Every structure is written in C-alpha cells, then in structure tokens.
Structure 1
Amino acid sequence: MNTILVVDDDAHIRKLMKVYLENSHYKVIEAEDGEEALDLLAHTQVDLAIVDVMMPRVDGVELTEDIRSFLTIPILMVTAKGESKDKVKGFNAGTDDYLVKPFDPVELILRVKALLKRYNVASDKVVKVGSITIDIERLVVQSHKQSLTLKKKECELLFTLASSPGKIFTRAQLIEKIWGYDYEGDERTVDVHIKRLREQLIVFPEVTISTVRGLGYRLEEM
C-alpha cells in the first residue's frame, strides 16, 4: 500500500483528501505545514507528497525544494492560485504536477495514480544498458571505466530512454513522463536536455541517443 503525505494548513482540505485517498486504498499521513512535513519525512517512508503552496513557516515551494534535495518521490502541488507565474515557481522548485483549488477529488486521485505509475517505472532505481549503469536515485551514470553525475532532469530523461533501448519516444511522451502533462513549456526543452546529454555521454561510446526525424529520440547500443 502506497503512503501519501498530505501537507496543508486547512484541516478540512486534509480531511477531504484523506477520505478520497483512503477510499482508493492509499495510506495517508498528514502535516499542517512544511516544517512538520520535513520532520515526518525524516523518519517515515513516503511514496508521494501532496503539497499546498500557501502555508505558514515553510511554504509549499520551499518544502518542495527541500524534499528534492534528499528524496526522489513524486510531488503534486495544490494551490488556490491558478496564475502561470505560480505554476512556474512550482515546477522550478521541482514539483511533478499541479492542481488548482477548488479541485475535483476524482481528478486528484487520477493525478496521484498517474504520478505513482510514472515513478514506478523506475522501481529498482537502476537500469543497465550493455556495460552502462544508470542510477536514477544517485543521478550517476557509470561503466567499469567512467563515472558521470547528471542533473536530475537529465538523468530522468536518460533513464527513460535506457529503460527501453531502441524504442522511439516522442517529445510529447518525454515531456509527460518527466515534466508532467501540465507542463506549460514547449517541446524544445527536450531538445536542449538531449543536447546536454549527448555532450556528456561522449565518454560512454557504448551508447548513443539518436534522433528519429519527425518522431523523436531513442537510445541505441553501439
């Protein structure tokens, strides 16, 4: 059973989320602000965090940044604000998805399920392609000769491609898997990250990321 951390200073919102999440067979733990949430995360295993933006002491954006500094779990940000600038702040902090109050509880459950499914692709946190090992939790790519540390999104992108060598991923698929389907940037973000990956992966001639014109990208063993 997956454990969901609900962080919101509104007790009624926490209760509403808890009822629907528990009815969907999730275990729920609660925190009324970011500071309490960090205390819980220090000694409790959590599979996903639902974080409100506007909270006292440690707000949702700061909490998301703190979580990202030591955990790789999906984060769903919930707020009463729907402006693009607030979404940008959330995604820049590291949230995976965004939900605006008032929300449909059914949509909440669907988004939670989608995030858990996306992260469960990396169930072992490690994938191997030939002599290359990609550790998504440590953000490290290594072979018996070389070791390379990547940024989080770069590693997630490489991990996704390496999980299915030879499979073509469209830019839209990669955006949804790594940035979330509510991401408001354009697909050129993928191209920028692919370019950076190729520059760094030059030390691993065993693999290459190929462009399939008109379709997307795939990772190939050389």
Structure 2
Amino acid sequence: MAQKVLARFNDAQLFLFVRHLFAAEGFQVVLAGDNDPCAQNGADYAAVVLDVPDLSCAITLKQVRQSFPEAALVVLSRADQPFDDVLGCDDLLLSRPFDPSKLVRFLRQLRYRGATAPNATLEYADLEMNLARMQVLRAGVEVPLTPLQFKLLRHMMERPGDFCTREELIERCWPENVEVEPRTVDVHLGHIRRTLKRFGPDIIRTVRGSGYALRKRCDMSDGDVTSSTDSGPGSRT
C-alpha cells in the first residue's frame, strides 16, 4: 500500500506537478481540507508538504511539526528563507525555482526511512541489497537498477523460498489506482534479469503460468526451468 503524504498548496499547477512526482515514487498525496493541514491531526502520514509564501508561515510550520512529529516536512519556499528552528536533518527545504531531482532523491530516501534501520540489508546468494541507500551489489559490484526494478527485486529477496505472482508484484510495487498489465511485469523482470546476468549467473527463474522466483543457490548454474519470455496471461484479472 502506498504511503500517504499530506499537502497544502497555494499554487494549483505546482500541486499537480509535485503530486505527479510523489505518485511516480509510490506516494499517495492527500490535499489538506480548507488549507489547514493540522485539521488532519492524528492521521498516519509519511510527510507533510507545504507551499510556503513567506516567513510569516513559520508559525504554521511549528504547528504542523507539533501535529505530525513523526512525519517529514517538505517546504517549498519562494526565496531562501531560514527555518532552522523548525526543520531538521530529515526534512527538506526547496526554494523556487527548485530542482525536481532533489525532491525525487529525498522521496526515495523517505520511502524506507523508519521502516528500515540505516544499515539494514537483504542478502541472497551473491546479492546484497542495502535498503536505506537503495543500492544492490552483486559479488561486491554495484548493480544499476531503477527505483521500480529495486522494489521488484526487493520483494523477491524478502521471499526467497516462494514464487511471486505477477498480480502480487503489481500490488506491492506499483502505486495504487494505476492499471498495470501482467506483461509489463514480464518486461521489467526481463530488464532485471539481463542486468544481473552482467555480473553473474542467472538468478531469476520463471514459473510458467505463475510468476517469478529466485533460483536456489545450488541451481544457479543450471538452465532455467522455463523460457524467460513466457508472457503469462494477457490481462489483469
């Protein structure tokens, strides 16, 4: 399930742009009712995003911090404004015009913040996945994966003894309310498989008609049990 983010914006176009960035990284954005973010006090939000026009909004920031002590604050300001007394090392201050890549990097860190320890890792065979840094190593060499590919591989590494259906991968790795065809899962798993094979033997096997699984360590040098081009069902049910 997507993590929720509470937002208050004065600029409708900016809200639509920022909402798209959050959704692309797996977050669901909830617009604060009546422009009062504190009215949502008590809800479980990973972050609160505020479009701050001037320094007078510092009081609002303090109120938001009190209402959501566990949430990260993302502040979009119109000029370089000091909010050191409110914002901490886990928050983000962006001044217009801001670089979207900074927000994207922050969101990728936020996705696993709190859910995993700073040095939490998953290991399987010669794969090592650092959850906080979103980094995958194979035999000590960094493997380049996109955020979506990282999520797919992570889900499989969390269930090394089981196969994962396409429907399960769609539910766990794509944002809610996004229609994804099972064939799309095949395409992304194909990219992951080819990338990993650059650094070692094929570690992903296709379970025909069902989904995907990680190979047993003793079988990694053997051939695949089925063709990796198995397209699966033609539509999601």
TM-score over 0.5 for the pair: yes
In 2, Cα distance between equivalents of 1:190 and 1:27? 27
The size of the alignment, in residue pairs, is: 165
Corresponding letter in the other structure for 2:104: R
1:160 matched to 2:155? The reply is: yes
1:148 matched to 2:143? The reply is: yes
Change (3 A) 1:221 1:58: farther
Partner residue, 1:67: 103
User: Residues 16-38 of structure 1: CA distance to partner in whole angstroms, max 9, x if unpaired?
Assistant: x5333x23366874512673399
Q: Contact conserved, 1:207 with 1:221, CA < 8 A, in 2?
A: no
In 2, Cα distance between equivalents of 1:14 and 1:207? 52
Q: CA deviation at 1:204?
A: 4.4
In 2, Cα distance between equivalents of 1:14 and 1:219? 47
Q: CA deviation at 1:69?
A: 3.1
User: Residues 55-90 of structure 1: CA distance to partner in whole angstroms, max 9, x if unpaired?
Assistant: xx669xx85x5421343156xxxxxxxxxxxxxxxx
Q: CA deviation at 1:178?
A: 1.3
Corresponding letter in the other structure for 2:179: E
Name which of 186, 189, 209 aligns with 1:191: 186
Partner residue, 2:56: none
Question: What TM-score, normalized to structure 2?
Answer: 0.53
Partner residue, 1:9: 10
Name which of 214, 224, 234 aligns with 1:219: 214
Superposed counterparts of 1:50-199, under 5 Å = 66-72=102-108, 123-124=116-117, 126-199=121-194
Question: What TM-score, normalized to structure 1?
Answer: 0.56
Q: CA deviation at 1:167?
A: 1.5
In 2, Cα distance between equivalents of 1:206 and 1:9? 53
Aligned to 1:32, what secondary structure does the other structure show? strand
In 2, Cα distance between equivalents of 1:70 and 1:122? 15
Higher fraction of helix: 1
Partner residue, 2:90: 45
Aligned to 2:10, what secondary structure does the other structure show? coil
User: Residues 34-53 of structure 1: CA distance to partner in whole angstroms, max 9, x if unpaired?
Assistant: 7339988x84526xxxxxxx
Change (3 A) 1:28 1:147: closer
Q: Contact conserved, 2:113 with 2:132, CA < 8 A, in 1?
A: no
Aligned to 2:197, what secondary structure does the other structure show? helix
User: Residues 171-204 of structure 1: CA distance to partner in whole angstroms, max 9, x if unpaired?
Assistant: 1211121112311232222111110111111144
Specify the structure having the higher radius of gyration (Cα): 2
Q: Unpaired runs of 5+ in structure 1?
A: 47-56, 75-115
Aligned to 2:7, what secondary structure does the other structure show? strand
